[in-house]
Amino acid sequence: MHFLETLLGMQNRTPFITTQEYKAAQMKQYLDLCERIVDEGEWVNNERTGKRCLTVINADLTYDVSKGEFPLVTTRKSFWKSAIAEIIGYLRGYDNAADFRALGTKTWDANANQNEVWLNNPYRKGEDDMGLCYGAIGRNFPKPDGGHIDLLKQIIDDLTRGVDNRGEILTFYHPGAFHMACLRPCMYSHHFSLLGDTLYLNSTQRSCDVPLGLNFNMVQVYVLLAIVAQITGKKPGKAFHKIVNAHIYEDQLELMRDVQLKREPYPLPTLKINPEIKTLKDIETWVTMADFEVEGYQFHEPIAYPFSV
Ligand SMILES: Nc1nc(=O)c2c([nH]1)NC[C@@H]1CN(c3ccc(C(=O)N[C@@H](CCC(=O)O)C(=O)O)cc3)CN21
Ligand SMILES: O=c1ccn([C@H]2C[C@H](O)[C@@H](COP(=O)(O)O)O2)c(=O)[nH]1
């Protein structure tokens, strides 16, 4: 092997890097996407928000959960508990911003309560209602012939008994319910796969606010694979995160280009999940943000990016 490598000159092409440098390199995927948008993005008018977005189409990010590559942004302070609270709320089937707040995130307040179109929607059930989106669809998917399916429960049951039917898809996407929700789901599909006892995840996102949303979405894809592997008794493998429309809003561009992209990333931290979380019921009933810990998080100053409702 050594002889072959020398012969092929491979030793020169695979420089030795430390674990810390390797982990810092993981953040490069995020920074490369930000830079690509700044350098090559095209301006697109967005009717819903009334703002222009610098936009690129298609990005593929990978997180190796087996190696603990927790993709937390270090070039600004990231509110990771808020991101985890969002994904746990989706898994619980929440449809109300108050429930998300109780779990530890205010991120749905604006979409539930500050959007004129939604406030005037006859389907809105009052203060904090988000309508039929995310977990309210995925945990209760309407069947055309009547009744509902709990997609997540079916997936967990299959994976726990070692079955991957090649369609273990948790989808939040139901075009027939869009008019009954405050927003269409952005990260709308999570497809689980088993190879032996290793679990993989392919997550798909149709629309991505790279400075704000992606900061959270990377954490969520990682946590989703880690926690589903934990409760189904499988080893986590890699999570593949596909983004279609990746954008930076016009009022975020300067902070991204002139502040965040000028900073050097730190090594990535490590995520610890309470090993006592063993079933879907545990996630539904007693899990709180205290069951998640991040170790060794070094970060730059927070940046308050403008949020578009
Ligand atoms: N324009 C837009 N971008 C999004 O990323 C987004 C939406 N809308 N609507 C639905 C959800 C809500 N999400 C949000 C909402 C707010 C923050 C936010 O304000 N983040 C701040 C502070 C977070 C905190 O203190 O918890 C940040 O600095 O990350 C992030 C994601 C992601 N989604
Ligand atoms: O998890 C999320 C949720 C939302 N976003 C962003 C992406 C867009 O900027 C808006 C949604 O607007 P649409 O007009 O429905 O595309 O929210 C995100 O990045 N991540």
pLDDT, position 27: 87
Pocket test for ligand 2, best of 114, 207, 244 (most atoms within 8 A of CB): 207
- DSSP label at residue 87: H
How confident is the model over 155-174, as pLDDT tens digits?
A: 999 999 999 999 999 999 99
Q: Both tokens of residue 75?
A: 């070039």
pLDDT, position 281: 98
> Confidence band (pLDDT; 50, 70, 90) for 220?
very high
Judging by DSSP bridges, how do beta strands 141-142 and 51-64 pair with one another?
A: unpaired
> Confidence band (pLDDT; 50, 70, 90) for 129?
very high
Q: Is the ipTM of this complex over 0.95?
A: yes
Which atom of ligand 2 is the closest one to the Cα of 86?
1
Annotated binding site: 48, 206-209, 217, 247-249, 308
Report how far ligand 2's centroid is from the alpha carbon of 162 (Å): 34
Pocket test for ligand 1, best of 107, 187, 214 (most atoms within 8 A of CB): 107
Do 63 and 223 contact (CB within 8 A), yes or no?
A: no
Residues ≥6 apart with Cβ < 8 Å to 230? 236, 273, 275, 277, 278
Q: Both tokens of residue 178?
A: 């869009």
| Domain assignments of the chain as residue spans, ordered by start | 22-295
Helix (H, G, I), strand (E, B) or coil at 1: coil
Q: Which residues line ligand 2 (CB under 6 A)?
A: 48, 183-184, 186-187, 207-209, 213-214, 217
Q: Both tokens of residue 249?
A: 């809003």
Q: Both tokens of residue 93?
A: 């089937």
pTM: predicted TM-score of the whole model, two decimal places: 0.94
Annotated binding site for dUMP: 48, 206-209, 217, 247-249
Cβ density class 63-75: b for 16+ within 10 Å, e for less: bebbebbbbbbbb
pLDDT, position 40: 98
Average pLDDT for 28-44: 98
CATH (residue range 22-295): 3.30.572.10
